[in-house]
């Protein structure tokens, strides 16, 4: 499936579950943090299946957050890319540090 089709399906699911109607943006952000913690755990155990599951769950929470915030994720990604593409920096201990 293409990304936009998957996004529509995620939002249909969120609507059916009452998430779009009842969720707050802050609680949805906490859900993203929770799923990010699960990703860290999966990375620590080097479990590729759980890593993939966690990444998918994070994407679901972000898609829902974007809908709650009334922003388009592709626009957000494009904006972020336009900023990072001009950044300079270097790798320090496995992390990119911008100048």
Consecutive 10-residue runs of the chain (99 residues): their mean pLDDT?
95 98 97 98 98 98 98 96 92 90
pLDDT of the residue at 59: 98
Cα–Cα–Cα angle for 45, 64, 9, nearest 5°? 95
Assigned CATH class of 3-74: mainly alpha
Q: What is the pLDDT of residue 58?
A: 98
- C-beta separation of 26 from 34 below 8 A: no
What is the C-alpha end-to-end distance of the chain, expressed in Å?
39
pLDDT at 63: 98
- The full set of domain ranges for the chain reads 3-74
């Amino acid at each position: 499936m293409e990304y936009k089709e998957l996004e529509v399906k995620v939002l249909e699911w969120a609507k059916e579950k009452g998430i779009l109607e009842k969720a707050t943006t802050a609680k949805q952000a906490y859900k993203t943090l929770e799923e990010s913690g699960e990703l860290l755990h999966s990375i620590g155990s080097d479990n590729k299946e759980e890593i993939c599951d966690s990444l998918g769950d994070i994407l679901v929470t972000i898609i829902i957050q974007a809908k709650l915030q009334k922003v388009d994720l592709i626009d957000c990604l494009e904006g972020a890319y336009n900023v990072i593409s001009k950044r300079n920096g270097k790798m320090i201990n496995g992390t990119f540090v911008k100048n």
